[in-house]
Amino acid sequence: MRIPILKLHNYLLISIQTEIDDQTAIQFQEDLLDKIHKSGASGVVIDLTSVDIIDSFIAKVLGDVVSMSDLMGAKVVLTGIQPAVAMTLIDLGIHLQNVPTALDLEQGLLKLQQELGV
């Protein structure tokens, strides 16, 4: 299973719509970094509106992909984290500090524009 990555101007947009297993998460990490490299995108929004569970493994993969993209020079914003998912992550002790987030896709794009100064 592959998570589709869409390109819009110099941004990449991802909406995760499926149940994520570990392999899909790792594959997504690779695909995204590859796509950043090939497209020269400067900003990425990963929308998690349809994701109803984030466990410690998926949280680690998401946190890592933000740091990895940052190393490559692309800013990533996570959007649409559901209330139940936010509460569960804090119970797990996962705070995802240093990970930029926004309420929804629209706010996420605004945040990227501000951070990138375009």
Interaction site with another protein (CB under 8 A) = 19, 21-23, 52-57, 59-60, 82-85, 87-88, 91-94
Q: How far apart are the first and last CA of the chain?
A: 34
Nearest CB to another protein, comparing residues 34 and 55: 55
Nearest CB to another protein, comparing residues 40 and 93: 93
Cβ at position 22, least distance to another protein in Å: 5
Cβ at position 49, least distance to another protein in Å: 14
Cα distance between residue 101 and residue 47, in whole Å: 10
60 in Cβ contact with 92 (< 8 Å): no
- DSSP output for 2-49: ----EEETTEEEEE--SPPPHHHHHHHHHHHHHHHHHH--SEEEEE-T
Cβ at position 106, least distance to another protein in Å: 24
Cβ at position 8, least distance to another protein in Å: 30
Nearest CB to another protein, comparing residues 62 and 109: 62
Nearest CB to another protein, comparing residues 9 and 91: 91
The rounded Cα 117 to chain-centroid distance in angstroms is 20
